[in-house]
Structure 1
Amino acid sequence: MKRQDQPVDEILKRMRRHQDALNALREILITRVKLQYYTETQFKDLVVLAREGIALLDRYKAGDVIGPEWIEERDSLVERAQRLIQDAEEDS
């Protein structure tokens, strides 16, 4: 039987199967896009944190006195790093 000779019901059934497959693929793609966005955001946050940490360390050389402001900034960076790690662990 040629495709042109198929009953309308058969054609509609095939169309529904294809539509179901397309819908499933659509959901998979949406999930992947969301995961990609989340991953890129986490990575960008991590890069910013790393740069700030490097800048903090670069400001001091051997023999420099570390004051309370350095400790506060260090603690802030550590807290942000711990939050990033915790967020990543909760989402995995």
Structure 2
Amino acid sequence: MKTDAYTKSVLTVIAFCLVVLVLRGVDLLPRATAGGVAAAPAQTLQTSRPLLVNNDGSINVRVTGLEGPLNVNVAAVGGSLVYGKVPVEYNK
């Protein structure tokens, strides 16, 4: 008789878990979700000169009118937070 009670309890637990899994996918009440924000239109730069991109994807930039070191505070790169220093090379 102990085997029968054990088997019934195990099957009851399995049946309960299956019912929970099935009911998780059923929405009895409508869910409240936030509306999506419309994406801003991409701004394009109109120029008659081509943009020269290096093989590694970087772009050479010429900075003029700079006295002293350039303060560069980077909070995020590609959506990932930056916690350490970022190496910056400045060639004059």
Tell me, yes or no, whether TM beats 0.5: no
**Larger strand fraction of residues:** 2
Q: Report the TM-score, using the length of structure 2 for normalisation.
A: 0.31
Q: Report the TM-score, using the length of structure 1 for normalisation.
A: 0.31
Q: Which has the bigger relative contact order, CA under 8 A and spacing at least 6?
A: 1
Structure of higher CA gyration radius:
2
**Larger helix fraction of residues:** 1
